[in-house]
Amino acid sequence: MTDAGPEDRDVVLVGGGVMSATLGVLLSELEPDWTITVVERLDAAGLESSSAWNNAGTGHAGLCEFNYTPLRPDGTVDVSAAVQIGAQFLTSLTLWAHLVERGLLGAPGDFIRSVPHLGLGRGDEGVAYLRARWEALRDHPLFAGQEFSDDPAVLAGWLPLVFDQRTPGQPIAATRSAQGTDVDFGVLTRRLLSALAARGADVRFGRETRGLRRSGDRWHLDVRDRRTGARRQLRTPYVFVGAGGGTLPLLQAARVPEVRRYGVFPISGQFLRTDRPELVAAHRAKLYGHAAPGAPPISVPHLDRRVVEGRDHLLFGPFAAFSPRFLTQGRLTDLVRSVRRGNLPTLLAAARDNRSLMAYLVRQLRQTPQDRIAALAEFVPSVRAEDWELITAGQRVQVLKTTEGRGSMVGFGTELVTSAGGSLAALLGASPGASTAAATMVDVLAASFPARTAAWGPRLRELAPSADTVHGWDSAQLAANVHHARAVLQLTPVRPGEATA
């Protein structure tokens, strides 16, 4: 049953995750008189990819993630992606600090805390790569203060759990940045949406967007109450779809031409988890290693300290799993229903041109519990299987598209799609995801509202300076802004002369 007459709104945001929450807050700051509605199919905010247990919680700043610094054919390290991600994370820090200063996000320690970020290089090649990575980054202001060591005594001090019972004499090295962070994006999302609601926005949970169509100069959304079955139509000149794995099916149903050739492939992640106090006390860090040969970039193994609901845990993974669902609470038919005539060539090309990835996924699906413990033992030689449990950590969709005749995966960042003159914007993809939400939403605003960019510019640069703005700061300005944001968020202060995001 549909109520008579649509509701007119200036903005409708589909999805109650960190992306929609961030965009809503920015729009409420820039245009406080606009009417904004957020529609979320689940009964609370941040329960899918933004949930603390559905992501690693790493405040991705390029400090330790090797997949953002690939080796070039000449043996040098390309650090451009790491620098970009570091700048994007500073955008997020700046926005969060601004909101904390105004009392809109509560205590910052509830959603962000300092946790050192380390990279681990093993074997002669791994150590050489790690040293080259460190040398390529250490003079950049966003990475100043990062340390490198191959001294076993120093490494044991940095990583007591990792070096307990480790066989001596193996080539091994690590980099360490004390300015790393652990972020609970679920708590952050709920705080952002609460701040948005306090400014008059309408946040509706348990509402599923069942239809989206363009009529004249307005988008019409058919929204269903999942509890009562009642339907209501929303009408708006601007809609943003930040529904994670649910984004592509909704855009396909709306026949948005820009996504006609896109495909997606679902990947589920699993982690080993422990909360044993002696283990947590021996590893207060996020430690990233190398991806296995043929493995996708999102498979980089890491051993992370997490704080969720005030309790300390360690997580190790990810281990790939498979489900045809696009969301943890999605449908078993999601994958099949996403295959269309327009994207079938892309899906076939991706299968043809990514055989090593398919082989990796098959190997992962065949893993036994003993195989997973053996992988953890490479990081924690003293591991005991009974101390760890296997958990499923969310559902992702890997974006597929055709590039120069080859089926390729969008490995990093999110794919921004705009349609109908910018009146619709949507995000596909995940990594590095939530950490870059503020910078990504600044890009969404620029793509969606080009006529307002000049008027919004000064306020946006204050709230959430774009990555390009960060790149334009000199060292002194960068250091001052980093210091201020970190001080407000009660994070480990940057030592004098350093400016690490």
Residue labelled with tokens 């049953």: 1
CA quadruple 68, 270, 16, 96: dihedral sign: negative
The residues, ordered by sequence, that sit 6+ positions from 282 with a Cβ below 8 Å of its Cβ are: 160, 161, 164
Q: How many Å apart are CA 493 and CA 497, to the nearest integer?
A: 11
What does the pLDDT read at residue 497? 44
Q: How many CA atoms lie within 13 A of 49 on its CB side?
A: 28
Phi, psi of 269 (to 5 degrees): -110, 145
C-alpha distances in Å from residue 141, one per residue of 58, 75, 131, 263: 20, 23, 18, 38
Longest dimension (CA), the chain: 75
What does the pLDDT read at residue 263? 84
Q: How many Å apart are CA 222 and CA 236, to the nearest integer?
A: 12
Residue from 322, 323, 455, 314 nearest 383 by CA: 314
Q: Mean pLDDT per 10-residue run, the chain (501 residues)?
A: 76 95 97 97 88 86 92 92 95 98 96 97 94 94 92 97 94 96 95 96 95 94 94 96 88 89 84 96 95 69 92 92 82 85 83 76 87 96 97 82 71 76 87 84 95 95 94 91 94 60 40
CA quadruple 88, 144, 476, 104: dihedral sign: positive
Task: Give the pLDDT confidence of 66-86 residue by residue, as tens digits.
Answer: 989 999 988 899 999 999 999
Phi, psi of 408 (to 5 degrees): -125, 155
What does the pLDDT read at residue 146? 94
Could you tell me the two tokens for 211? Answer: 């239809």
Q: How many Å apart are CA 151 and CA 174, to the nearest integer?
A: 9
The vertex-53 CA angle with 48 and 58, nearest 5°, equals: 100
Give pairs for 248-253: CB < 8 Å, separation 24+: 248/326, 248/338, 248/397, 248/428, 249/326, 249/334, 249/337, 249/338, 250/14, 250/209, 250/212, 251/212, 251/417, 251/426, 252/338, 252/340, 253/211, 253/212
The one-character DSSP state at 405 is T
Residue labelled with tokens 């946790």: 115
The one-character DSSP state at 495 is P
Q: How many Å apart are CA 130 and CA 13, to the nearest integer?
A: 42
Helix (H) or strand (E) holding 115: none
Q: How many Å apart are CA 214 and CA 449, to the nearest integer?
A: 18
What does the pLDDT read at residue 137? 95
End-to-end CA distance of the chain: 51
Count of CB atoms situated within 10 Å of the CB of 77: 19
Would you say 486 and 96 are in contact if contact means Cβ atoms under 8 Å apart?
no
Could you tell me the two tokens for 148? Answer: 């490198």
12 exposure class (CB count in 10 Å sphere: 0-12, 13-18, 19+): buried
Return the beta strands (E) in 96-250 as ranges: 112-114, 117-122, 147-149, 172-177, 181-183, 202-204, 207-215, 218-225, 231-236, 239-241
Residue labelled with tokens 């930040």: 242
